[in-house]
Chains A and B, each alone.
Chain A
Amino acid sequence: SAVISQKPSRDICQRGTSLTIQCQVDSQVTMMFWYRQQPGQSLTLIATANQGSEATYESGFVIDKFPISRPNLTFSTLTVSNMSPEDSSIYLCSVEAAGDNEQFFGPGTRLTVL
């Protein structure tokens, strides 16, 4: 399976600010995804990060709030913009390496917004 790293691992931010989370994979992957996991909850897909084109967002998530970049096949960023305490969550990137549906997750970024 691919080795996935995320930066930062955790952060505490003030409301109204923005945070960019990085996801790096040790090999080229076909698909990259961003999820949100609110405290004690399940995982919700935010968007699919498309290489070289705009991300595909799920219902309830918009580009202005969660801009995503994917400049190549091993790297993606998620920005959480104009943060409020409701954005306090774990943000996870995942990858599908071989087109076989198996998704592997990074360690997550634990965000607290004060």
Chain B
Amino acid sequence: GENVEQHPSTLSVQEGDSAVIKCTYSDSASNYFPWYKQELGKGPQLIIDIRSNVGEKKDQRIAVTLNKTAKHFSLHITETQPEDSAVYFCAASFGHFLSKLTFGTGTRLQVTL
């Protein structure tokens, strides 16, 4: 089955700096890669996703890049703000109707003033 590794497990950045979280996956058939943000006491929130037919996607301060050859994808957050502090999870899945997501282990991002 699919295996997703995520690094780093914790990340501390100063407000205004950029943050990068990286994930690798094992199943070359995976074709959908979402990123979730989980704040304390809440369920995961889908913040951005990318499919295997594109290499990069941006949404304001958030971007995701995908390297299919190397089987890794990354989340980039620019101009970080304190409200970006949360746990971030990457995930991977294959298929259209059987959308079983395999999650990474999570990255705790702390944005300091």
Chain A neighbourhood of B61, CB < 8 A: none
**Residue A45 at the B interface, CB < 8 A?**
yes
Number of interface residues of B (CB under 8 A): 22
Q: Interface code A23-34, partner B: CB below 8 Å = 1, 0 otherwise?
A: 000000011000
Q: Check A105–B44 contact: CB distance below 8 A.
A: yes
Chain A neighbourhood of B99, CB < 8 A: 31, 96, 101, 103
* 3 smallest beta-carbon distances between A and B, as pairs: A105-B43, A101-B32, A43-B103
Q: Check B46–A103 contact: CB distance below 8 A.
A: yes
**Residue A42 at the B interface, CB < 8 A?**
yes
Chain A neighbourhood of B97, CB < 8 A: 30-31, 99
Q: Check B100–A48 contact: CB distance below 8 A.
A: yes
User: Cα distance A104–B49 when bound, in Å?
Assistant: 12
Chain A neighbourhood of B98, CB < 8 A: 48
Q: Check B43–A42 contact: CB distance below 8 A.
A: no
